[in-house]
Amino acid sequence: MLCEIQQHTRQLSKNMSYGKEVQMGRMDRIILAGVVLLLGLALAPRGAAPATEAGELKVTIHEWDVPTKGAHPHDPAVGPGDTLWFTEQMANKLGSLDTRSGAFKEYPLKVEDSGPHGLVADRDGNIWFTGNFKGYIGKLDPRTGVVSEYKIPDPKGEDPHTAVFDSQGMLWFTLQVANMVGRLDPRTGKIDLKKVPTENSHPYGIAINSKGTPIFCEFATNKMAKIDPQSMEIAEFPLPEGTRPRRMAIDAADRVYFTDYSEGHLGRLDMASGAVKMWASPGGAKSAPYGIAITPDGMVWYSESGVKPNTIVRFDPKTESFARASIPSGGGTVRNMAATSDGRVYIACSGVNKVGVVEPAR
């Protein structure tokens, strides 16, 4: 067991790829939180997750080097005109890529060592992001380059993580180590926070269903949860023992798909009934499924970060069949994905400093 924990800890440091420019006090807290989390993963009951057979995934994967070396691109997002936006966590920048021309633009942030993590575009084309190292939500106006900051009001809320807009224009976000979910009203700048009932649950991936309800993963537990958009009351939903949901996506029928990072599954939760179904990922129990997205045709896409090279996996819910392909660069851990309206998938490959587009065969 100790050997396994040490192995996970080494992998954490490798996958994070953080540089010396990060303030060590903050870095120590990140590593400590990661070790505590990985201890929980190592101690979680592990069932056998035999590899599922997968067909050949017919896609073209285009990759581009991020201009700033060591930028550690973390999350991708779809911006106006299907521009690929991404956070440069270790370069303290946001970046954008015109996937047609290959032209990059980079936008330095004002707050030093912000650690930009998650990002999402609003209706007006502004790019909102989480300042994961400095406890704030930021807004970039790409037309002017002006960045506005919204400080988290509670000093314990130091690590905003993943962000998403609801249909009313409210920004919802998770705070992982702080164990909170937040709501920001862009019209007023007011931020409300809600503590998650389960201690040390590590709120992680978040998405909004068709009813406007935010759903999120509790990565350090075997639970998913929803938060009422008015009262901010939280209800939790149990998953099979040992499951550790990391990222999630919601389909047109409001079924919640999630990646089980600990035991190598793709999972689906029906929140109306509480029913859960799990499929073993093609890479097996140690495949560490991570970033996930659903394209308009209902196909579920995710990456296996525990296999080398990392893979792109497509799951067809109608046939319950898998297909997969290797990422040419190796991937270096695909932490999140974003689906475009025309069925492509944007990825950020942190460890190899690239961003990419997965284009299905037509």
How far out from the chain centre does Cα 223 lie?
17
Closest CA to 194 of 245, 219, 231, 151: 231
CB 154 within 8 A of CB 160: no
Q: Bridge-partner residues for 323, per DSSP?
A: 55, 314
Q: Parse the chain into domains and list their residue ranges.
A: 2-44+56-360
Closest CA to 166 of 213, 204, 233: 213
CB 297 within 8 A of CB 284: no
Sheet of 276-280, strand order: 245-250, 256-260, 265-269, 276-280
Contacts of 187 (CB under 8 A, 6+ apart): 169
Contacts of 353 (CB under 8 A, 6+ apart): 65, 66, 69, 70, 71, 72, 73, 332
d(CA 344, CA 355): 13
CB 219 within 8 A of CB 245: yes
Q: What is the pLDDT along the chain (362 residues), one digit of tens a residue?
A: 334 334 444 444 434 434 333 444 454 555 455 555 655 555 455 555 567 888 999 999 999 999 999 999 999 999 999 999 999 999 999 999 999 999 999 999 999 999 999 999 999 999 999 999 999 999 999 999 999 999 999 999 999 999 999 999 999 999 999 999 999 999 999 999 999 999 999 999 999 999 999 999 999 999 999 999 999 999 999 999 999 999 999 999 999 999 999 999 999 999 999 999 999 999 999 999 999 999 999 999 999 999 999 999 999 999 999 999 999 999 999 999 999 999 999 999 999 999 999 999 98
Per CATH, the number for 2-44+56-360 is 2.130.10.10
Question: Degrees (nearest 5) of the Cα angle 315, 246, 259?
Answer: 15
Q: Bridge-partner residues for 61, per DSSP?
A: 358
CB burial class (10 A; 0-12, 13-18, 19+) of residue 148? middle
CB 160 within 8 A of CB 131: yes
pTM of the entire structure? Answer: 0.89
